[in-house]
Structure 1
């Protein structure tokens, strides 16, 4: 009996320590976000900024594509080029790009059609020709759904110091209409922001490729962009290649403003499931063990038992206090990203926060149950280590 009590005591200490660490990460991400985000750079000498080649992979259009692409033509930066990589000659995005090139003739912009098959990753294939044509040593890969402020390139270039090989933006979202937009903001501004910022403080590779500036010569040392066509999560492996060669990666002070015109809660859930499946294949320990118990409800239930065992505290009372603390810390994190008050009501925040906390554990179970990834209309089967193979549907006549 004493041995059982000792084991339970050890388990309770372990769970309580995990709770303390999670709360520490919350405070760490808030403090770091307050220190890092929304900085200005008034002392930057424009003439000293390096040239940047911006790769924009495009497939299809959405209602906000013109607005998003135009924000890059309006960038205040002394030397950059826009390289639009369009998968198919008949793609409707080609007309939008051409109209912007005609509207801004002074901007160095080119279109590349068709791509090249260098691997299994459609995005890498799409960018292959544009990457080879890039004339600058700094490459920015930027997804079509990203909208940029006019000073964002300056901000990213400032963080590209001599010992830094890759600068990335923390994913966030623009303010749009509807509950789905609010839900996206709550997810990316709370749970995801805490993970992203604290991981960067601790030196953990979590670079996201939706907006990522990197040194082309170092990428060439790693085999060039086509080398990463064998992975779906090419951003993780590109960042790891820089780290393995002794280069640092940094997150800059401007967030990546996702501004897709087509958005919904089911669509976000599909994205989250896809990312979970990729993390399970690449970093299974984090995805399968730490991530599930770091969630508010899961950790709260576990620690409710732990504190009742250790300190004789009512589990229900503790759980309510735990949820309140988590809720307030998440709200504070969101205001840090917004640099002030949130752009929706506190009731909307409460509804979306609860929806995220309830649905996320279910999405994790779904991601483990079905390992197949559907992306851009194609199906892929993941292998351990992040490698993938495409699944082809047999057609009968």
Structure 2
């Protein structure tokens, strides 16, 4: 009998334990998602609902912008104001906003030009700072331009803003759109991303997206306001952390955020994922280790070796069963988030799921290979802790 190598044995035990923990998290995401996303609106008195200021930072126009913005004019909520923020007066989004303001004169809506005030490195913060300063109400909703709002979504978020809650945000998801690239995005946000997002929020770990979040302005001002957030690109994480540090609860909405950008493609989607990974690596360094470990293919390969070493099981059979069960778990999870039939066939889901899982390690590698972040035609360098500085091109030499 060969002597036991305790180092290798210990490594195999750790890998197998990580595999078991992953499955507990997978089940937790499904159960928590089913509970959190199936809540019905509680009884309320419309007259007692607080007014809300809604910040809409806009840059450029896409084919769905008019449709998306119009949903904010048609919300069933008693009192709110819309504060549209663009970078400069030449932005084509101005015409769309102005046409909607004329179409819905009873809705309190205003326009702001962001180029007149710069408070930090973050272009989104600079864009909407004038609207933020002009907000009349203590409850503020930041909502990205690519979102389509449900009639009762704002109501759902406000009702979750209880006495001890400081911030309510939405799970990112994708509207039903045509095209395979849209299906790829929906599968990702309904499986890989949803699992991470639901688990983190269910376990009380800060995982907040800034694409749709409702918060108390007075609390953010105590933490330094938008001026403090302007030094970070991951301003959403930093804002949520400011609330957590002050003892406020951060809650997830019962409705997912419906991303409905009219311009989408697989390369654009992958570039977006790489940028997000870079931000997570710099802001929360533990993701360097944690994210690759809990990828389906990577974890399955390591666990297959571990069980073959520990229990003398056939590695290939274990690996195939691992992928099958993971796939079924993800299919159940996306059905929970969709809350209805999926807009594509089971075969298309299989193809989209396989493509996302196979490409994930490559995207993580790309994020490590080139840590510079490109956003809105600008390049940034992010230091540990999330503080950001702009990478400016070298000055051109004058010609002789």
1:334-355 Cα distance to aligned partner (Å, 9 max, x none)? 1001113311011110111010
What residue number does 2:76 align with? 76
What residue number does 1:259 align with? 260
Map 1:241-320 → 2, pairs under 5 A: 241-285=242-286, 287-320=287-320
What residue number does 1:92 align with? 92
Q: Measure, in 2, the Cα distance between the counterparts of 1:48 and 1:309.
A: 63
Whether the 8 Å CA contact 2:114–2:128 is kept in 1: the answer is: no
Q: CA deviation at 1:42?
A: 5.2
TM-score, normalised by the number of residues in structure 2: 0.97
Q: CA deviation at 1:391?
A: 1.1
TM-score, normalised by the number of residues in structure 1: 0.98
What is the alpha-carbon root mean square deviation over aligned residues? 1.2
Whether the 8 Å CA contact 2:208–2:240 is kept in 1: the answer is: yes
Runs of 4+ residues deviating >6 angstroms: none
What residue number does 1:204 align with? 205
Whether the 8 Å CA contact 1:125–1:226 is kept in 2: the answer is: no
Q: Measure, in 2, the Cα distance between the counterparts of 1:239 and 1:114.
A: 24
What residue number does 2:346 align with? 346
Q: Measure, in 2, the Cα distance between the counterparts of 1:151 and 1:41.
A: 9
What residue number does 2:132 align with? 131
Q: Measure, in 1, the Cα distance between the counterparts of 2:68 and 2:270.
A: 23
1:150-198 Cα distance to aligned partner (Å, 9 max, x none)? 0000000011000010000000000111110000000000000000001
My pick for the range that moved more, 145-154 or 335-344, is 335-344
Q: Measure, in 2, the Cα distance between the counterparts of 1:246 and 1:321.
A: 43
What residue number does 1:30 align with? 30
Whether the 8 Å CA contact 2:166–2:249 is kept in 1: the answer is: yes
Q: Measure, in 2, the Cα distance between the counterparts of 1:317 and 1:388.
A: 46
1:199-238 Cα distance to aligned partner (Å, 9 max, x none)? 0111110010000000000011011112100000000000
Q: Measure, in 2, the Cα distance between the counterparts of 1:305 and 1:5.
A: 15
Structure 1 position 175 matched with structure 2 position 140: no
Whether the 8 Å CA contact 2:190–2:337 is kept in 1: the answer is: yes
Which 5+ residue runs of structure 1 have no aligned equivalent? Answer: none
Q: CA deviation at 1:4?
A: 5.3
Q: Measure, in 1, the Cα distance between the counterparts of 2:206 and 2:85.
A: 27
Whether the 8 Å CA contact 2:114–2:129 is kept in 1: the answer is: no
The alignment of Structure 1 onto Structure 2 pairs a total of residues equal to: 396
1:263-283 Cα distance to aligned partner (Å, 9 max, x none)? 011111111101111111111
Whether the 8 Å CA contact 1:89–1:114 is kept in 2: the answer is: no
Q: Measure, in 2, the Cα distance between the counterparts of 1:45 and 1:269.
A: 44
SS in 1 for 2:342: coil
What residue number does 1:330 align with? 330
Q: Measure, in 2, the Cα distance between the counterparts of 1:36 and 1:75.
A: 22
What residue number does 2:153 align with? 152
1:100-130 Cα distance to aligned partner (Å, 9 max, x none)? 0000000000001134100000000011110
1:248-297 Cα distance to aligned partner (Å, 9 max, x none)? 10001010000000001111111110111111111111x21111010000
Q: Measure, in 2, the Cα distance between the counterparts of 1:73 and 1:394.
A: 45
What residue number does 1:63 align with? 63
Whether the 8 Å CA contact 1:167–1:251 is kept in 2: the answer is: yes
What residue number does 1:213 align with? 214
SS in 2 for 1:109: strand
What residue number does 1:113 align with? 113
Whether the 8 Å CA contact 2:32–2:198 is kept in 1: the answer is: yes
Q: Measure, in 2, the Cα distance between the counterparts of 1:302 and 1:251.
A: 33
Whether the 8 Å CA contact 1:51–1:79 is kept in 2: the answer is: yes
Structure 1 position 371 matched with structure 2 position 336: no
Which 5+ residue runs of structure 2 have no aligned equivalent? Answer: none
